[in-house]
Amino acid sequence: MVTLRLRDILLIGAGLAFLGWAVAPPSSLSLNESCGPGNGPPMLSAALFPGSFWEKQLVVVLAERDELLARPARRARIDAQIQAEASAIEGRMERLNREQSRVDDRAEKERRDMAEQSARLKRVAWLMGCEGEIRQRLAN
């Protein structure tokens, strides 16, 4: 009898803990492609606690946007360091490299960099659009 009550209390406690986890506003980005709450716990959290859900999502969106916008500066510093090291090595190894392979490598690197830049800019644009929608929801 006592073990059944203890088991029931534990099950109820676990259920309440799960429910608390499910409805708590997520601390990570939980928006779908149309800037609405994602399916599952984020949708439930947005329905039960719209104010805190959207405030947390705004903080996460702003943080990710700022990180993406700051990436080119960090990348430029890293590229400058790599370039300095590479130029020293390249001077010694130049006679061992063939000109055509370097041209191909540079072209491939430029293609990768352009693809990365395009994806980053698309993400920044999406985040800025979501930021506007979140601010409108918070204003209502």
* 55 inside domain: yes
How many Cα atoms within 13 Å fall on the side-chain side of residue 79? 8
* 20 inside domain: no
* 78 inside domain: no
Q: What is the pTM (predicted TM-score) of this model?
A: 0.61
Total number of domains in the chain: 1
* 9 inside domain: no
CA 60 – CA 84 distance, rounded (Å):
36
Which tens digit of pLDDT belongs to each residue from 44-103? 888 888 888 899 999 999 999 998 888 776 666 666 676 767 676 666 666 665 555 655
* 21 inside domain: no
Which tens digit of pLDDT belongs to each residue from 4-52? 788 888 888 887 777 666 656 677 888 999 999 988 888 888 888 888 8
Phi-psi region of 35 (alpha: psi -120 to 50; beta: other; left: phi over 0): left
Tell me which residue range forms the domain holding 36. 26-69+98-139
